[in-house]
Amino acid sequence: MVDSDLSYITTQTNQRYLHVITWGCQMNVYDSNRMVDLLRPLGYKVTNEAEQADVLVLNTCHIRDKATEKVFSELGRLKQIKDYRKEQGHNTLIAVAGCVAQAEGKMILQRAPYVDIVLGPQTYHRLPKMILDVARKTGNVIETDFPVESKFDFLPAPEEAAGYTAFLTIQEGCDKFCSFCVVPYTRGSEESRPVQAILDEANRLCDLGVKEISLLGQNVNAYHGQGPDGNTWNLAKLAEKLSTIPGLSRIRYTTSHPRDMDDSLIDAHRDLPSLMPFLHLPVQSGSDRVLKAMNRGHTADEYRKIIDKLKKARPDIALSSDFIVGHPGESIDDFKATMQLVKDVTFAQAFSFKYSPRPGTSAALSSYQVAEEEKNERLQELQALLRDQQTQFNQNTVGRQIPILFTNTGRKNGQIAGKSPYLQAVHVNADENLIGQERMVLVEECLTNSLSGSLIHKEGVSS
Ligand code: SAH
Ligand code: SF4
Ligand code: F3S
């Protein structure tokens, strides 16, 4: 479906609106923000009302479950909006971005011909041109190649920060090919951005008021970008440099792979106060047999050793992980080994999933699939243990004085809310003008999903 006028890009007469729906990981959140940055110079303003939008972007995730079906059901809803707006005399452009767009490509246009643009995670820098192409030409536009140019070279510097915390993608793609995972197929091979580009973006974000940056990558600790000195820099060196940016009080990074957790990064947790004592380090399973079948490239004891080193370097470090239960071939003993590893390590939080066969991955072809009922039981047992550990971790912070970076108002009147270094949500009764500052808080109570406390007035942490 094509509209021959240029109304998507005419900005002089009236405001154009953009509505972005984001599913999936933080990298998709980052990508969505960058698409907004790309369209801002064309006169687009973000709206939370899909019905108001001239351009609707659905940024999709392909990692688990019925990802593709979910996309088509959402597209059905967007089509209704497009039809309704048409009746009111407005054109609407629908773009499908992200990992399902990359994986399904043309099939999306075949099943949903009212979609105007399909663009992969590596081609969204071409979105303004694609919108123009749709407006000027005939037919829908598809861009899912892995281009030779890097999209990062074409993205404008952020002009607005959404708040006091921001994501910054430093590395993309994956060469590890875990048996279960679609990411190497949807995001392409591993690439690191040059150090200077990252520093420029981080400085820009801090100028806009950002206090905490989360460095992102599918394998963020495999970062090996070109440094300004001509050498290759690893994540530890990059974090050290970032920690010198005035006003940047917190640095985080995610997601890491145990294979790339080298000593220099562990030491950085000891040496850099702004590197937050929180690490998301997915282990997936505690069974060596399953880890091997998953092609993870390490054993359960190697993971335990990394954790021991981290705890020595930064004794208060809080740990998080991802787990998959019911990977093909996982026996009850393998599952017990996962439970044992959780007991040994103890996690502050974690994500756990039932194995979900993904088209094109090697595990999906295995004939040793675990029964659904069995997966359900294992998941429940694991999640109960992880929940207990999370509650215990949160309860252990009661009575402690912790610096909290306040980022928004709380749910109740007079409350403000923020995050602890360990990524816990904390709220206190305090004046709104403290939002954007980091202050010491005495944690007094552990609630179901958050902590509450009170400000310590003597001496705040630097804001
Ligand atoms: N790069 C990260 C993970 C990215 S995907 C890493 O290497 O750990 C996020 C999480 O989704 C994974 O850690 C895994 O636990 C889960 N996941 C990925 N594919 C899955 C599948 N097919 N079924 C169930 N969970 C899956
Ligand atoms: Fe997927 Fe494995 Fe790569 Fe993580 S390391 S993105 S789980 S293939
Ligand atoms: Fe999903 Fe793609 Fe991220 S599959 S988890 S949006 S890399």
Q: Give the pLDDT score at 146.
A: 78
Q: Give the pLDDT score at 150.
A: 80
- Kindly give the number of the ligand 3 atom that is closest to the alpha carbon of 62: 4
Answer yes or no: is the C-beta of 310 below 6 A from any ligand 3 atom.
no
Instruction: Give me ligand 3 centre to Cα 24, in Å.
Output: 5
| pLDDT band at residue 463 using 50, 70 and 90 as cut-offs | very low
- DSSP state string for 279-330: EE---B-S-HHHHHHTT-SS-HHHHHHHHHHHHHHSTT-EEEEEEEE--TT-
End-to-end CA distance of the chain: 52
Residue located nearest, by CA, to atom 5 of ligand 2: 176
**What confidence tens digit (pLDDT) does each residue in 320-348 have?**
999 999 999 999 999 999 999 999 999 99
- Kindly give the number of the ligand 1 atom that is closest to the alpha carbon of 354: 24
More confident residue, 311 or 143: 311
**Segment 221-233 mean pLDDT:** 97
Tokens read off for 433 = 């003008």
pLDDT mean across residues, the chain? 92
Tell how strand 55-60 and strand 16-22 pair up.
parallel
Q: Give the pLDDT score at 139.
A: 65
Ligand 2 neighbours by CB, cut-off 6 Å: 174, 176-178, 181, 183-184, 218-219, 257
**Segment 99-127 mean pLDDT:** 94
**What confidence tens digit (pLDDT) does each residue in 167-199 have?**
999 999 999 999 999 999 999 999 999 999 999
**What confidence tens digit (pLDDT) does each residue in 377-395 have?**
999 999 999 999 999 999 9
CA–CA separation, 91 vs 457, rounded Å?
55
Which ligand is in closest contact with the Cα of 295? 2
Answer yes or no: is the C-beta of 342 below 6 A from any ligand 3 atom.
no
| pLDDT band at residue 458 using 50, 70 and 90 as cut-offs | low
132 pLDDT above the threshold of 90: no
**Segment 220-234 mean pLDDT:** 97
| pLDDT band at residue 9 using 50, 70 and 90 as cut-offs | low
Instruction: Give me ligand 2 centre to Cα 446, in Å.
Output: 34
213 pLDDT above the threshold of 60: yes
> Which of 63, 260, 285, 321, when mutated, tests ligand 1's pocket best, judged by the most ligand atoms within 8 Å of its CB?
63
Considering only 69-83, 89-103, 137-151, 265-279, which range has the smallest mean pLDDT?
137-151
pTM summary value: 0.92
Q: Give the pLDDT score at 3.
A: 42
> Which residue in 300, 389, 303 sits closest to 343, CA to CA?
389
- Known binding site for [4Fe-4S] cluster: residues? 25, 61, 99, 174, 178, 181
Task: Give the percent of the chain with pLDDT over 90.
Answer: 84
Is residue 401 within a helix (H) or strand (E), and if so which, with residue range?
strand 401-409
Instruction: Give me ligand 1 centre to Cα 181, in Å.
Output: 6
- Kindly give the number of the ligand 1 atom that is closest to the alpha carbon of 219: 1
Considering only 81-95, 136-150, 427-441, which range has the smallest mean pLDDT?
136-150
Instruction: Give me ligand 1 centre to Cα 288, in Å.
Output: 17
**Segment 413-430 mean pLDDT:** 96
- Known binding site: residues? 25, 61, 99, 174, 178, 181
> Which residue in 62, 350, 327 sits closest to 180, CA to CA?
327
Q: Give the pLDDT score at 136.
A: 80
Residue-range domains of the chain with CATH: 7-143 (3.40.50.12160), 157-276 (3.30.750.210), 279-393 (3.30.750.200), 401-455 (2.40.50.140)
